[in-house]
Amino acid sequence: MSHGVRTRPEGSGQPLSEAYDTALLDLDGVVYAGGNAIVHAVDSLAHARAGGMHLAYVTNNALRTPDVVAEHLTELGIPTGAADVITSAQAVARLISEQVPAGARVLVIGGEGLRVALRERGLTPVESADDDPAAVVQGYGGPDLPWGRFAEASYAVARGVPWFASNTDLTIPSGRGIAPGNGAAVEVVRIATGAEPQVAGKPLPPMHRETILRTGARRPLVVGDRLDTDIEGAFNGGVDSLLVLTGVTDGPQLLAAPPHHRPTYVDADLRGLLTGQPEITREGDGFRCGGWTATAGPDRLELEGDGETFDGLRALCAAAWTAAGDGSCELDGGKALARLGL
């Protein structure tokens, strides 16, 4: 994928599972939500794997270890080994290990995933700012993380200890809705100290580097539900991406996406891995995909025709992104999206 201005989703004559050697799959909002498999995920991944595609699971959630994540996926019917799971905890642990002495103490504000990743890099997790840490690392600790942990981080950071964050996702999907993510917790420490952490997770390069090092992918496809982590991370890494609308991103957000948030492909769910992607063509002043034609009017996006829902969404993306150029589309697409049921 180039770093130019994308003005429409791309087509693919091959199923994506054949066009790419490795799927780098986000977890929350893509494979599962609230611990339960998302509809069509298990069967779609089984078919992709049977066809020879390597599946790797790449998550900004630093709470759980790769072993625990792999066990959970296997229980859902997706056979997975720990080596197939890459977490932001692993990425931030590598980043820290490159900047502190071997065996250094690191104050952990988060869960077991961070502690295991630090030990893997030969670092020593500690619990207090008074333990003379060489670094502070903050990762998602779950809804029961005590408020006092943020104070502990603040004490150390205010003393000048280097501060690292696994990721800065402000929200995280749950079975009950959207909950505060690690980014919200990072904001607490930032407000208290005025400091800025070094961040490893998606969409930043340390996470992409960790993923490629661990998977050996040669032609990867990033699959995600978030524009500001998964899709931007693919853009920063110069690789293609598939956005699925089973998680955080909705139709209006997709239409308004600036260039670095525009996915290569768009589909409803992980069944999109198993099919080709339709071409989007110019037709007069608009764009045609399947039975739909979308145009950008003076103040709103317009949609005509009928057919598959996501063909209509793809056409709308082309009209919106072309009208926006290298900015964000400000045209109203509400009526057109409502017609698609999105």
Enzyme catalytic residues: 26, 28
Residue by residue, DSSP assigns 150-171 as: HHHHHHHHHTT--EEES---SE
Question: Exposure pattern of 270-285 as b/e (b: 16+ CB <10 Å)?
Answer: bbbbbeebbebeeeee
**CA pseudo-torsion sign 339, 308, 305, 262:** positive
Phi, psi of 304 (to 5 degrees): -130, 155
330 CB-near residues (< 8 Å, 6+ apart) = 256, 324
Cis (ω within 30 of 0) for the bond into 205?
no
How is residue 117 annotated by DSSP?
Answer: H
Q: Three-class SS of residue 79?
A: coil
* Number of neighbours of residue 148 by Cβ within 10 angstroms: 8
